[in-house]
Amino acid sequence: MLNRTGFGLISSASKDSVDECVSLCAATAGCELWSFNLVSFECDLRFAEGESAQDAHFVSGPRNCPTTRSTCDSQKLSETR
């Protein structure tokens, strides 16, 4: 799983699930990428991708990611390779 870091942070918010983070990105003007911390439940929204690092505590993806985590992980991995 990827943790997208670096520049482009629009906002950071506490959310209860990956689905809520995906929905927040979809509803936020300018959001292109999101990262959700599975430990702290922080959802980071970004307008541009900075660095990406493998991190088992994060799920991340593009704005148009489906709202199911397993589908999103598969889509995200194929888009980042």
Say which residues have a Cβ less than 8 Å from residue 20's Cβ, sequence separation at least 6: 43
The answer, yes or no, to whether residue 44 has pLDDT greater than 80, is yes
Tens of pLDDT, residue by residue over 56-75, are 888 888 888 765 455 455 44
Query: 20: domain range?
Result: 2-80
pLDDT at 30 over 50: yes
CATH number, domain of 61, equals: 3.50.4.10
**At residue 9, what is the residue type?**
L
The three-point CA angle 55-20-40 to 5° equals 40
* Nearest alpha carbon to residue 45 among 63, 19, 72: 63
pTM score: 0.72
